[in-house]
Structures are given as C-alpha cells and as structure tokens.
Amino acid sequence: MKRLLMVCVGLLLLGACSSPAPKTELVKPTVKEPEYISGSTAMHKMYVHALAWARDAQPYRLESFLTQDWNGKEGKAGAWRAGFASPVGRGMKPYTWVGSNAPGAGDRGITPSPEDNYVPGNASNHIFDIAFLKVDSDKALATALKHGGDKLMEKDPNQPVLYVLDWYGAKNALVWHVIFGENRGEAKLTVMVNASTGDFVRVEK
C-alpha cells in the first residue's frame, strides 16, 4: 500500500513537471504620439541643454522644419533647430528638437550637433537675450496672415509655413520671419514680425 502511494505521488509530480508552460502574451511597444510645438516652447527646451554645455550660452537663431505629417500650421512645427553661442568659450553649438514620427524627421527628442567656432561680430550669428522672445510663432503667424498670408492660405489651405527667428540689425530687434513656402529661397511670401512686440515690420518678399 505504501509502495502504491509512492508510485501515485511520483506520477502526479511527473505530470506536473511535464505540463506545458503558461503562454506569455507579446506586448507591443507603445508608439509615442507625435508632438507639434511652437517656437518659444522649442527654444526653451533646447536652451536648458545649451546651458549644460556652456553656462553663458545665448541663442542666435531658431528655425522650424517641415515634416511629412505637419506643414507649419498654427504656428507650430514637428521639428525645430536652435543655434547657441558661448562668447567666453568662443564656440557655437546647434541643437535639434524632433516631436514628429514621420519618416525623415530624425530621432525624437533633443539632439546636439558638433561644436563649431564662434566669431563675435558676425551678423548671421548675432546672439540675443532669450528674454526678448515675448511673442511666440503662433502670434507671428497671425500677424503675417493679416499682411498677405491669408490670401495664400485661401488659395491653398495646405500651404506650408516656416518660421525663422533671429536678430534684425537694421531695427536692433529680435524678429520672426514667417515664410510661406517650402524654403526661404522659393517662398511665395515672407513677412517679418517683431518678436518682442508682435508688430508688423515689413514684407520681405
């Protein structure tokens, strides 16, 4: 009887060991939703990284990029690039922010570019205090629409719009260049807007 009991226990244990392992469900990686942000938001995101690179870093340029899923509407973009300079370190370093998932947009998040030499006095790299940026790209677009942009948008609601922020020496002011077109060289219209006051400055093209 005792031997029979031991055989039964052994068979039960053997059955338990040979039972199929529970199936594990494959969890698909979650895809982060695309993000489209204004110029000021993008600038401040990248400025934090620039200050980690150089404590005296100051911006000299900000520009948006078109992506396959976003054409620059609402004053926002799925990709931005900001250039910063360190007067003390005599260096320049661009950063790129990407929130789009579209092909060709690049890696999501903030990516630094290699450092370059900074030459003070170069008009194309004129640094400015970020505090001058009081008017965001969406407000700049609203102003540009009142000076010819609305007509272009009526003809083509999918009209691409680019945004460039830099220092305008002639007026000694920080300005937005609101560009209606796929690039600045072939723009249908470019409107300059004061980035501190929101005032219309002039039509560049």
Report whether 136 contacts 66 (CB < 8 A): no
Q: CA-CA distances (angstroms) from residue 43 to 19, 29, 95, 111?
A: 59, 30, 10, 13
pLDDT, tens digit (0-9, with 9 covering 90-100), for 28-83: 667 789 999 999 999 999 999 999 999 999 999 999 999 999 999 999 999 999 99
Output the CA angle 25-28-29, nearest 5 degrees.
140
pLDDT for residue 157: 93
pLDDT for residue 130: 97
Confidence (pTM)? 0.85
pLDDT for residue 27: 56
Please give the backbone phi and psi of residue 91, each rounded to the nearest 5 degrees, phi first: -130, 160
Confidence of residue 13 (pLDDT cuts 50, 70, 90): very low
Q: Where is 173: in which H helix or E strand?
A: strand 173-180
Higher pLDDT, 91 or 3: 91
Report DSSP letters for 57-117, one per residue: -EEEEEEEE-BTTB-SGGGEESEEEEEEEETTTTEEEEEEEE---STTS-SSEEEE---EE
Report whether 63 contacts 50 (CB < 8 A): no
Confidence of residue 1 (pLDDT cuts 50, 70, 90): very low
Measured distance CA(6)–CA(3) in Å, rounded: 5
pLDDT for residue 26: 58
